[in-house]
Amino acid sequence: MVTVLQVFLRFVLNSPTSWSEEVALLCLIWFGLLAVAVGVRRHEHVAITFLRDLLPGPLALALDYLAQASMAVFMFVVMYFSRDLITLAGVQVLPASGLPKTLLYLPACIGGGLGLLNALANIVLRSLGPESSATGGEDGR
């Protein structure tokens, strides 16, 4: 909505705002990093299933566990190093909107934490579920 407003103001009324691009950027970053966490939970992240589909059931399941564990490690790294970015931003503000610059890096911390929790939950739920002895395909959660 902010981007539509900016385009309208810039090209129709010839009177653009100075803050809308920063707000649109913040919305895009927040949406993107929270969507990654949701994608991990729903198993909708990018996955190449060709090799897994060729493996027998127990090996395919082990590969699925390895993929979730790898995703958990990656999300932990994102969350951990986002703290450094937040610290570096300190009390700086974005120039046009005056919003705290930490809002650019906070989604990495929150999205990384949620992605980590979701990957760990996927591992636990898969091991507790009745289909843990199945191939562990994307449809057999």
Whose tokens are 């992240």? That residue is 45
- Predicted confidence at residue 5, as pLDDT, reads 87
What is Dmax (Cα atoms) for the chain? 63
8-26 mean pLDDT: 89
3-state secondary structure 65-85: HHHHHHHHHHHHHHHHHHHHH
Exposure string over 53-84, b if 16+ CB within 10 A, otherwise e: eeeeeeebbebbbebbeebbebbbebbeebee
pLDDT digits (tens, 9 = 90+) for 50-67: 888 888 989 988 988 998
- Predicted confidence at residue 60, as pLDDT, reads 87
* Cα separation, 60 vs 54, whole angstroms: 8
pLDDT digits (tens, 9 = 90+) for 64-120: 899 899 999 999 999 999 999 999 998 999 999 999 999 999 999 999 999 999 999
- Predicted confidence at residue 133, as pLDDT, reads 42
Contact 100, 93 (CB under 8 A): yes
Q: Which residues contact 44 (CB under 8 A, 6 or more apart)?
A: 38
Q: Is the pTM of this model over 0.85?
A: no
Contact 10, 2 (CB under 8 A): no
